Amino acid sequence: MVQYGFFFDQSRCTGCKTCTIACKTWNQVPPGPVKYMRVLEWEEGTWPQVRVHFVAVPCYHCENPKCADACPAKAIIKEDKYGAVLIDEEYCNPSAVKCGRACWDACPYGSILFASDNLEEKAQKCTMCIDRLEQGVIPICVASCPMRALDFGPIEELAEKYGRKFKLTRRLEGMPSPEEVKPAVVMKERDPHREVVPYNAGRAVELWGRRGPYAPPDLPPVLDLKDMSVEGVEVGRSKPVFKPKRAEQLMYYTTNDE
């Protein structure tokens, strides 16, 4: 079996969510927490030295899919032609087997999805666009990415193609360990942060607080710089959350794409 998979370049991803929208449109998935392709975003640093990070998370169609092993109904299979991990809706019957979402528990990436928090909901997930593959075209998320941050093909060929240029990994910062499940993905980590135009950060903050260098002198400042402090301030999305426990939480960590 030839294992197909994804390449993801974190340095090219701008978090535009085009892949998510294209995936929903192609698969006719209504707005809500079912997102076969999720784009997680999180922030680090404090203004003016801040950075936003993104990671695209479909199903990685693991070589050793623990979700399939965990499913009591044996509704999750790994097909032989592309190595895609698929759910057979006919066999997925949570109300009958009382599985307690064992497949979701087993997946380290949270790629098993449900339309609501109702435990009777059937599981859904990325299908590797196997219908498109059978038509001879690439997955819709890859085809739609305007920044070309995604690629698709036999995983060994992707590793060889991009490994000539970049240092590749199967685990970006904040991601679960790939050792046990062996995800079918190779990734390039984001480029190191650099100042394109050097500037004095302290002076920038001062000018911002005082309405800029050309403001009338009789106007009060925007804020009192002496009391300005970010210590102890909690950032809402300070890390990637791969396994939100509720639909509402999933929507929060993947906002801006509905």
pLDDT in tens, 130-160: 999 999 999 999 999 999 999 999 999 999 9
| pLDDT bracket for residue 202 (50, 70, 90) | confident
pLDDT at 96 over 90: no
CB 151 within 8 A of CB 7: yes
**pLDDT, position 9:** 98
Flag whether pLDDT at 229 surpasses 60. Answer: no
Tell me the pTM.
0.86
- Per-residue pLDDT, averaged over 36-47, amounts to 87
Angle (CA) 93 97 103, round 5° = 75
Just give the CATH number of 4-193+246-253.
3.30.70.20
Residue 207 predicted with pLDDT over 80: no
Is residue 191 a contact partner of residue 11, using CB atoms and an 8 Å limit? yes
| pLDDT grade for 170, boundaries at 50, 70 and 90 | very high
Amino acid at 201: A
Q: Which distant-in-sequence residues (6+ apart) come within 8 Å of 46 by Cβ?
A: 230, 233
- Of all residues in the chain, the percent with pLDDT exceeding 90 is 68
Q: Where are the domains of the chain?
A: 4-193+246-253
Average pLDDT over residues 206-235: 71
Q: How confident is the model at residue 81 (pLDDT cuts 50, 70, 90)?
A: very high
What's at 70, amino acid-wise? A
Tokens of 85: 């991990």
